[in-house]
Chains A and B, each alone.
Chain A
Amino acid sequence: MRMLLAFIVLSFAMQSVWSRPVSYPGGITADMNNNGDEHSLLLHYSPTAKYSLGIRSEYRRAGEYLLTSFQLNNLVKRWNKKDSQMNFYIKSGIGYADRNSSRLKDDSSVAIFSGIAGDWESRQYFMAYENRYLEGGSLDDFFMQKVRVGMAPYIADYGALHTWLMVEVEHKPESEDTITLTPLVRFLKDVHKVEAGISSNRDVLFNWTIRF
């Protein structure tokens, strides 16, 4: 717990050294995620092209609580190559979790979370890894990690509809279903990115990102 707090404080303190853009300078992004674990909306702003600050609202389905948090995303390192790009991020947040449930005991707590993420992308192939640890006092406490690989069946020009076929494997050590597999399709067009899939638990995945 102390180490996690130190990690978050460190990532805030070192943002000027570590950080790289999450979006372009002045860019605003709305990121909505729906899957078997959560329904969430993150609105973030990149003051410079080196980090983003955001407000996240997240409903955790298993714990039946709403987490409203302040989130910082740092792009620690980006490797730009002629035909590919690779990124390493740290994502951290602190907020307030509140449960108002008919099934579980009402409760509330301060919650913090942190995780790392990395991706490699060319115009045809995609790989990504992400993990997250959340400490929510008496409400929740979990670790998850996931890997995603993808391939574009065709290479589209700038401005055209881009399509990706992907598979996501999620690992949740404390869950009943430790491993979840989700085949999905990603579409990119203009400022929109939409992802849709169905997991091996038959949960629907639907993500929508808009960059303003």
Chain B
Amino acid sequence: MKKLIVMLILLAGLISNNAFADHPEGTVEVGIYGLVCDFCAQALEKVFGKEVAVDNIDVNLDDKIVTIHLKHGQQLDDAVIRKNIVDAGYNVEEIRRGG
């Protein structure tokens, strides 16, 4: 029974993480509300492109997730990420960090 509970917990964990890929150190994945078109994605690329710490971003319109790839040794605070997204006209659903 204990094994079954552990397996169910592990399974639930896998399912809840399904929308987000495994993220290596130096990447941040952000779930975004309102991300429905290429123009929206381009807006986020432009906004994060101005951040010194950001190498590039990937946009997944299917899952409404933006993956921010940071430059080596660089950090980007959640507050800065939220501000950039809100300033671009969108809302943050969730921020997940790798590493």
Within 8 A of B (CB), among A103-146: 121-123
Tell whether, in the assembled complex, residue A188 and residue B64 are in contact, meaning their CB atoms are under 8 Å apart: no
Interface-side segment among B2-10, B22-30, B41-49, B69-77: B41-49
Tell whether, in the assembled complex, residue A85 and residue B40 are in contact, meaning their CB atoms are under 8 Å apart: yes
Tell whether, in the assembled complex, residue A49 and residue B93 are in contact, meaning their CB atoms are under 8 Å apart: no
Q: Mark A6-39, 1 if CB is under 8 A from B, else 0.
A: 0000000000000011011111000000000000
Binding site secondary structure of chain B: mixed
Q: Mark A74-107, 1 if CB is under 8 A from B, else 0.
A: 0100101111110000000000000000000000
Interface extent on B, as a size class?
Answer: 20 to 34
Interface-side segment among A63-71, A155-163, A168-176, A199-207: A155-163
Name the distance in Å between B66's Cβ and chain A's nearest Cβ: 10
- A190 vs B41: C-alpha distance when bound (angstroms): 10
- Decide: A122 near B36, CB < 8 A? Known: A20-B89, A158-B61: yes
Pick 17 A–B contacts, CB within 8 A, sort by A: A24-B43, A24-B47, A25-B47, A26-B46, A48-B87, A49-B87, A80-B33, A80-B91, A84-B36, A85-B37, A123-B37, A155-B62, A158-B61, A162-B38, A188-B37, A191-B42, A211-B39
Smallest CB gap from A159: residue in B = B38
Residue count of chain A within 8 Å CB distance of chain B: 30
Contacts of A155 in B (CB 8 A): 62
Given contacts A24-B46, A27-B43, A211-B42, 14 further A-B contacts (CB under 8 A): A25-B88, A49-B87, A49-B89, A80-B33, A80-B91, A82-B33, A82-B64, A85-B36, A123-B61, A157-B61, A158-B41, A162-B38, A188-B37, A193-B39
